[in-house]
Structure 1
Amino acid sequence: MAREISEIKVEWKIWKQKRQATPPEELPGYATEAIKQCNASLFPNIGTLVKILATPAVTTAAAERSFSMLKCLKAYFCNSFVEQWLNGLAVMSLHRKSIDMRNVIASFMMKARRFVF
């Protein structure tokens, strides 16, 4: 274990020196670019570490996008439901004298009951 850690430290020093000698415009901006630029035969441990670095970003981004889309959908459905509900109340308020409650009750009784299990 101690030998592996010392190998990683040596690789890291060489990798760091190589990066410092590289012009800034040639340095990778993303971990996926760093994977492509990493020579796996010269820096096997650094290559593995860069792959580990790149992995959480992909999985986290996918989850964040899913939750963001879910939040947007929830807001849309809540807003549309509230809008329909308010429209219904406004119509009932405007036409309260012309609405026959027996007809409303009869139409609700004719509809199929919807249970969500």
Structure 2
Amino acid sequence: MQEIFDEISEVFKSALGDVGEQKSFSIDEYLDQRDEANFDAKWVNTYNLIEQEKKKFSSGERKKVDEWSERIREIIFKNVMKKFANSDLAGYISDDAGMIFEANFVKIQS
């Protein structure tokens, strides 16, 4: 799990650097796009699918992946807050990182 954790963490940190250097990046526009029904529905469906798949694993395995997911969420949240000082943006992006980590664990590609 450490390898997956490190890889996802690096991808997000790199992406944050790239986005932060774009003068045309608008946090408000990004957040508005995230709130659109189509994106939201897909995100929720993927989340629900991951949760269903996690039930196939032992409680110990689920606890372990949840702990790792929480760690990556915390790290990404702090990095986004440091760079953009926007808790909504930090929450969304850190949730995405956690979801990607968990999807990798249960072998879902969405």
Using the size of structure 2 for normalisation, the TM-score is: 0.31
Bigger RCO of structures 1 and 2 (CA < 8 A, at least 6 apart): 2
Structure of larger gyration radius = 1
Q: TM-score, normalised on structure 1?
A: 0.29
